[in-house]
Amino acid sequence: MDSSRRRVYLRSVPPTAVDRIRNVALIGHRGSGKTSLYEAMLFEGGAINRLGRVDDGSTVSDHEPDEQRRGQSIDACVSHLTHAGREINLIDTPGDPSFVAYAAAALRVVDGAVVVVDGTAGVEVHTERLWGRADAEGLARLVFVNMLDRERADFFAALDSLKAAFGPHVVATEIPIGSEHDLRGVIDLIDMEAFVYAGGGRGGAERMPIPDELLPRATEYREKLMDEVAENSDELMERYLDGEEIDHAEIIAALKRGVAAGHLFPVTCGAATRNLGTDRLLDALVEDLPSPQMRGPLEMLDADGAAVEVAPDPDGPLVAYVFKTTADPYAGRINFFRVCSGTIRSDSQAVNVRGQERERIGQLGQPLGNDLEPVEALGAGDIGAVAKLKETKAGDVLCDGEREITARRLDLPAPVMAFSYDARSRGDEEKAATAVRRLSEEDPTLDVHRDPQTGEQIIAGLTQVHVEVLVERMKSRFGAAVELHPPRVPYREAIRRPAAAHARYKKQTGGRGQFADCAIEIEPGEDGKGLEFVDKIKGAAIPGSFIPSVAKGVAEAMEHGTLAGYPVKDVRVSLVDGKHHDTDSSELAFKIAGAMAFREAMEEADPALLEPIVELAIDCPDDVVGDVIGDLNSRRGRPLGMEAKGLVTEIKAEVPMAEVLDFAPDLRSISGGRAEFTMEFARYEEVPAHLVEKVIGAAANGQVGSPDAAARA
């Protein structure tokens, strides 16, 4: 980041008091203006001295070259600012579902969220998903309706969509003055005052009485606000119904209680690119969202996996949760963390609970985009960063050795779009291996592995864009150029009925031989359980030391099914009988026998080929809805419904993943680039009978993709 744009400050010890900290994430659908709002908030808070722009890549948040090139946030960006005597740690999160891991991790370490909504579109599909994640984390929320200076922007329609999506407790605390290009300011419904902005810039609002023509609507929405606020206090409700005047301090206190408890969701408004309403949003953030102290203890896990509460006590034992890791080719890992308890100091030590490794804590810093401002210490509730920890990465917990605390795993979607890759030159192979390993530490939704069947290196992500970004970062950060090959559909195999098999492995080579005999029974297992291995051996037919080897052989055999060589899904295997030889039996022999028995049993268990089904949510203009549905039908899609969402229609459908590998370019062509979609794994289903042989044949020939793609082309 251009250093001329930021105000450098150093914070002295002791760390900020817990009640004066606000940890807040900006969340919302892609294109809702989160990054522009983030920039305006940093400017208004004095952290930077001029506003950057998304379209020219000059914002604090989008500092990565691929973010600037694509014009969208990919990673979560952490920055620190001060407003109204409060220290604010602000996190800008990506709105593209491809990068949901960064948003989910950010929501784990904040106490409140600002939900940013496009004033022209209202609530969009990913907004709802992120709202659900914030709800699951128990976060207080307020809403900022952005882009109200755009053509066809409508605050009140957006407010209606918010109420429809999130319930009646979403309530306006501001309404706009003017609309579209005539947007001039906002009306504060708590104090019933108008704030008119002559232009962008810090402190650009002039306070004045509400214009007469807007007073009736302001009065109407103030009454709605007061109805909701009064519900949070029996005393206030009684006085309000009696017609008593309730002063500003009482309203703010009741509002804050309601927001902190998740009973009330204030809605503010403005236009971030004009810095209109940003100062009001910062005031609302400070006044309405809770501090770590007000939020109270965080729920974590003890050494036994039991829930335990960690209070934000700066004098307590150290517990720091690492929520983000950045792989820097020069500085190494940079870890971003929240101090849940205790105080962490520069040039100290902490224990990584995962591996019980002792880490040396170097210079601590508070982030401002791509820069770190050095600090001596960070106390409970605060967020900071440190470089060059040896073993620590996102998801780890640092303690002082007195407690073993871990964190709940993030609920993240599984990677569904897989590509094989190889280095463009021999000299890049080692660099590529290092780069992909380092970068996969940043994003837990990436899966990097070697295909045991083909020997290919595989990168799997949530979408094609997700994987392409990883490849771009391999090149830009580590100089490792790789080429992607067509995405692979992760077919699976399964069994339809129980079966039994007996296998004997016997090999005599002149010296000590190999002998193992086992009998197994298999049956369809519970969905998602994978292999369930049950030991039903009675007596000493097979010694206990060899039984794990049988299970290992079965597990290895399940990696390659008998139909097309795809992994076998969800089988319950019972080892019921067997024989051994005192001299010739070995772990290897029983592993081979277990694999042989499983393959024989599967042949008799009516094996089936399964394909992944994904759920698509497509936002498209009304005039192309028919064409989009027609295209989905050609892909064996099953429409689930349609819903009007502002200026677009949202279509939901379930489609076999094999049929959507080329959906993105086709959708762009159909809609003229005006439609977008998200994709999530739903479940596995049997491949239709008329396609099974095509898939098996394609697998035998090393081909990937849709069995019907050629027909569509």
pLDDT tops 90 at residue 148: yes
| C-alpha to C-alpha distance for 657 and 635, rounded to whole angstroms | 9
Q: What CATH number does the domain containing 430 carry?
A: 3.30.70.870
pLDDT tops 70 at residue 201: no
Task: Mean pLDDT check: name the lowest of 7-21, 39-53, 256-270, 647-661.
Answer: 7-21
Asked if 219 and 308 sit in the same domain, the reply is no
| C-alpha to C-alpha distance for 443 and 121, rounded to whole angstroms | 30
Closest CA to 416 of 61, 213, 684, 680: 680
pLDDT tops 60 at residue 261: yes
pLDDT, position 64: 83
Distances (CA, A) of 308 to 76, 185, 311: 28, 46, 10
Residue 708 lies in a domain: yes
CA atoms within 13 A on the CB side of 447: 16
pLDDT, position 510: 66
pLDDT, position 452: 66
Asked if 464 and 503 sit in the same domain, the reply is no
Asked if 172 and 141 sit in the same domain, the reply is yes
CB atoms within 10 A of CB 247: 8
Tally of domains within the chain:
5
Beta-ladder partners of 564: none
Task: Mean pLDDT check: name the lowest of 196-200, 289-293, 533-537.
Answer: 196-200
Structure tokens at 374: 């050095």
CA atoms within 13 A on the CB side of 268: 25
| C-alpha to C-alpha distance for 559 and 411, rounded to whole angstroms | 25
In the predicted model, what is the mean pLDDT of residues 144-163?
95
Domain endpoint, select from 345, 370, 399: 399
Residue 81 binned pLDDT confidence (cut-offs 50, 70, 90): very high
Domain residue limits at 666? 609-712
Asked if 247 and 134 sit in the same domain, the reply is yes
Structure pTM? 0.76
Closest CA to 38 of 290, 367, 320: 367
Distances (CA, A) of 188 to 256, 263, 288: 16, 21, 14
CB atoms within 10 A of CB 184: 16
pLDDT, position 16: 83
Domain endpoint, select from 295, 317, 342: 295
Beta-ladder partners of 341: 319
In the structure, how many helices (H) and strands (E) does the chain have? Answer: 18, 36
Residue 54 binned pLDDT confidence (cut-offs 50, 70, 90): confident
Q: Over the chain, what is the mean pLDDT?
A: 89
What share of the chain in percent tops pLDDT 70? 94
Asked if 124 and 211 sit in the same domain, the reply is yes
Cβ atoms of residues 336 and 102 within 8 Å: no
Residue 712 binned pLDDT confidence (cut-offs 50, 70, 90): very low
CB atoms within 10 A of CB 683: 12
Asked if 479 and 335 sit in the same domain, the reply is no
| C-alpha to C-alpha distance for 346 and 324, rounded to whole angstroms | 19
Asked if 145 and 20 sit in the same domain, the reply is yes
In the numeric block, the tokens 């891991």 are attached to: 101
| C-alpha to C-alpha distance for 122 and 114, rounded to whole angstroms | 15
In the predicted model, what is the mean pLDDT of residues 460-465?
84
Backbone angles phi, psi at 275, to 5 degrees: 55, 35
Pairing mode of beta strands 514-524, 531-535:
unpaired
CA atoms within 13 A on the CB side of 70: 20
pLDDT tops 60 at residue 492: yes
Residue 556 lies in a domain: yes
Instruction: Give residue-wise pLDDT tens across range 226-253.
Output: 888 888 777 777 887 777 777 788 888 8
Distances (CA, A) of 549 to 10, 338, 588, 594, 595: 60, 43, 7, 8, 10
| C-alpha to C-alpha distance for 79 and 384, rounded to whole angstroms | 9
CA atoms within 13 A on the CB side of 464: 14
The SS3 of residue 446 is coil
Asked if 631 and 599 sit in the same domain, the reply is no
Structure tokens at 65: 């070259």
Residue 411 lies in a domain: no
Structure tokens at 112: 């409140």
| C-alpha to C-alpha distance for 113 and 142, rounded to whole angstroms | 7
Structure tokens at 404: 């073993």
Backbone angles phi, psi at 675, to 5 degrees: -110, 155
Asked if 544 and 663 sit in the same domain, the reply is no
Burial class (CB in 10 A: 0-12, 13-18, 19+), 56: exposed
Asked if 291 and 302 sit in the same domain, the reply is no
**Alpha helices (runs of H) in 233-389, residue ranges in sequence order:** 234-241, 248-260, 278-288, 292-295
Beta-ladder partners of 611: 685
Instruction: Give residue-wise pLDDT tens across range 619-676.
Output: 888 889 999 999 999 999 999 999 887 667 889 999 998 898 888 778 888 987 678 7
Cβ atoms of residues 41 and 312 within 8 Å: no
Asked if 114 and 254 sit in the same domain, the reply is yes
Asked if 288 and 319 sit in the same domain, the reply is no
Domain endpoint, select from 433, 467, 488: 488
Pairing mode of beta strands 499-507, 638-645:
unpaired
pLDDT tops 60 at residue 116: yes
Higher pLDDT among residues 574 and 402, named by residue: 574
* Helix orientation angle between 278-288 and 248-260, rounded to the nearest 10 degrees: 70
